[in-house]
Structure formats: structure tokens, C-alpha cells
Amino acid sequence: MGYPRAYLYEKATGHFVPPPEVLYMHPLLWHRTGSAISSPHERYQDLDKLELSPTIGIFSLLDLEKQPGFRQGIQLSDDLKKTAKVVEAYRIGPDPIHCGLTCNRPHNRGYLISLIDGSHTNVGIDCGQAHFGASDFEGQVKALKEVERSNYQKSQINKLLDDIPNFRKQAHDLWHKAGPVNNALHNFRELYPPSLVEDLRNRSTRRQSSVHVTKRKGEKEKSSVDELAIDSQGQSRQRSESEFVQEYVGELRGLATFTQKPRTCLKLVQEMMEHVEQTSSHSLSPALLAKFAKFHENITKKLSETISLLEQSELFFNEKNFQLFKFMAEGQYLPDLERIEWNFDQNSGRKLSFGQLKRKRQRLAG
Ligand SMILES: [Zn+2]
């Protein structure tokens, strides 16, 4: 598929701008519709909304008191220890409530307990652990936690299912926005010396945006450095003096463009959504539940990462940067961008002026 292979230099504004947007879509993405531009609404999904296990939801003493036959001041007995069933865990606060056993101790975390006659009471978390070993208290609590976790995971997945159309629309729009950036970066890598591209990638990893030049010291600089040559005790000392000095040249903007491509983020978003959509409710294992439960957060993160990468590339394709690239590649500073000459072909050593580059690009685009 033909698409423009270089960004354009706009003389009027002095900016490098991406070529006009082309409706080119990666074939790996959106492949299910078979068309280059997929509508976010033409999706099917096998996964139905998940049903949560019913819970009472206890948030106050009042909620406890509503339970059938709820009573407190219960005498602990061996029978009680063996037969009590843990119904639900609760966390009530900030004011503590009292234990349903005669200990009457205050607590914030405890359990609703059902007694053998169908009535209910409550125990604090400590009393529960201390007294109910015989009724497999730990096992019951573990099972409750299991239900709680699976309910949480299911609710996260339901939230995801609700938001997928919206996520898909965002991903779709961002994919189009990222097209010109993708092309511009691709062309940047082709047009600029590999050593500069490598340098930018390394700087992006190190978050090193300041550009310095190393210069051989003049006589004046040598003597001023001598005056400063003192150790931590303030004693002057001899040291082998460097012949070189670093000079600040400028600040690179939008370097994060080189950490990851916006479309790579979007592919991950797409993969997550497709995984969920292609899974049927019957084949949803506990492992998949746990995995999918994180997708809502992960997709949200990846989408905002994409937005920030696009903002960064907006900053990256900026005239000031290009002046620095020129400097970095050739070790000299020429503010006149019209006279930029890049070593286009390292093997032949052939140099192209920007005008030649532009014509070359136009041929490639046509
Ligand atoms: Zn107690």
C-alpha cells in the first residue's frame, strides 16, 4: 500500500509536519471486519455479563440487626463452636461495634454468624479466630474471601464489557491519529544518520534531553578550573586536568516518542479486547477471570499512554529539535533549516539537500 514516506517541511511556519493523513490501517488490527476502516459498533461478543454471587453487604450495625433473629450477648459453648456458620465478613467504621459473644469487645472487622437455630449474631475477627476452630472457621473465611474476590473480578469484567464500545471508538480514533506519526517516525529513521537515531533512542531511555558539546579547553578555561581544584577539606590539590569542557547547547523535546510507538500501545489494547470478546462465558476459567479483571485498568492505561506518546511526537517534530539534530549529527550549529544537508546514503556518501529530499519523498508518495 502506498503512503507518503516523509514529513513535510512547511517554510511558512518553519515546522516539520506529518504528511496528510492517509486512511491506512495495519492489517493485523481490525482484521475481523475485513475492511480497512472498521466501525467500532460492528462488533460481536460471546461473553455475557457475569452474574455475581449474592451477598448481603454489611456496612453498619443496622445491617447486622436486620438479619433474622439477630441477637447479642451469646454465651460461648462447645456446640456453638462446632455449628456456627460464617455468613459474611464485614468492615464497619470508624466507630467500633461490639462482639455478639459475652466478651462484648469492640471491633471494626468481624463476621456475621448464623447459629444452628437459624438466628444470627456477630463476632469480632479475633474472637472468630480464637473460638471457632472446630467449625472449620478458617476454611469458611477462605471460601468467603474467594467469593468476594470472584465477585470483584466479575464486576470489573462487567465494567469492561460496558466500556468496550467506548474503548474501541477511542482506539479507532487514536489509530488514525497515530498514522502520520508512525510514518513520520519511520521516515525519520530512514532519512537521518543511524548514529543520530541510536543516540536519540538511548537518550529517550535515559531521559537525557539536554544536549552538550565537548570542547577542547581554551587557556582561560584551564586557569579558572585550576582555581577551583580543591578537595572536600578545602585544601587545594593537584589533579590530572582534563583537556575538555562540556558546553550546553539545547534541550530536546518529545524524546519519549522513541520509547514506544503509539500504535504498539493500541495493538495491545486491541489484543486485550479481542481476547475478552472471543472468550465464551462457558470457558471462563478462574485464571481468565483474574486476567480479564485487570483489563479495564490496563486498557485505560494504554490508551492514556498512547495519547501522551502522540503529544510527545507533536513536540518531537518541532523546528528547534531539528536544529539540534543538525548539530548532533554534524557537530555544528546552522540555524538556517533550508540549507540542511543530510548524509542520506552512508555507503555512497551522497548528500541530499532538503529540496532534493522533498522531491524524492514526493516521488515515493506518488
Ligand atoms: Zn468476642
137 in any annotated domain: no
Q: Which three cell numbers stand for residue 148?
A: 468476594
Shared domain check, 351 and 261: yes
How many residues would you count in the chain?
366
Distance CA(344)–CA(61), nearest Å, equals 76
User: Is 139 within a domain?
Assistant: no
Sign of the torsion angle spanned by Cα atoms 289, 293, 299, 302: negative
Which grid cell is 291? 486476567
Whether the bond into 94 is cis, omega within 30 of 0: yes
DSSP 207-224: T--EEEEEEEPPHHHHHH
**Whether residue 280 sits in one domain with residue 331:** yes
Same domain? 328 vs 361: yes
352/223 same-domain check? no
Same-domain check for residues 236 and 87: no
pLDDT beyond 90 at 72: yes
Counting residues of the chain whose pLDDT is more than 90, the rounded percentage is 31
For residues 105 and 243, membership in a common domain is answered with no
Same domain, residue pair 218 and 196: no
The three three-digit cell numbers of residue 175, written as one number: 489509530
> In angstroms, what is the span from residue 86 Cα to ligand 1's centroid?
14
The domain tally of the chain equals: 3
User: How far, CA to CA in Å, does 126 sit from each of 56, 116, 138, 217, 321?
Assistant: 22, 21, 12, 73, 64
d(CA 149, ligand 1 centre) in Å:
26
Q: Buried (b) or exposed (e) across 120-131, using 16+ Cβ within 10 A?
A: bbbbbbebbeeb
Together in a domain, 218 and 90: no
Residues spanned by the domain of 116: 61-132
pLDDT tens per residue, range 30-71: 323 333 334 454 556 667 888 888 888 899 999 999 999 999
Sign of CA dihedral 8, 10, 16, 17: negative
The verdict on residue 114 lying in a domain is: yes
Q: Distance from the CA of 134 to the center of ligand 1, in angstroms?
A: 16
One domain, residues 267 and 192: yes
Please tell me the distance between residue 100's alpha carbon and the centre of ligand 1 in angstroms.
Answer: 6
Tens of pLDDT, residues 222-260: 555 544 445 555 555 554 556 666 677 789 999 998 888
Q: How far does residue 105's CA lie from ligand 1's centre (Å)? A: 5
Q: Are 348 and 305 in a shared domain?
A: yes
Residues 6+ apart with CB under 8 A from 58: 64, 88, 90, 92, 112
CA pair distance 30, 263, nearest whole angstrom:
13
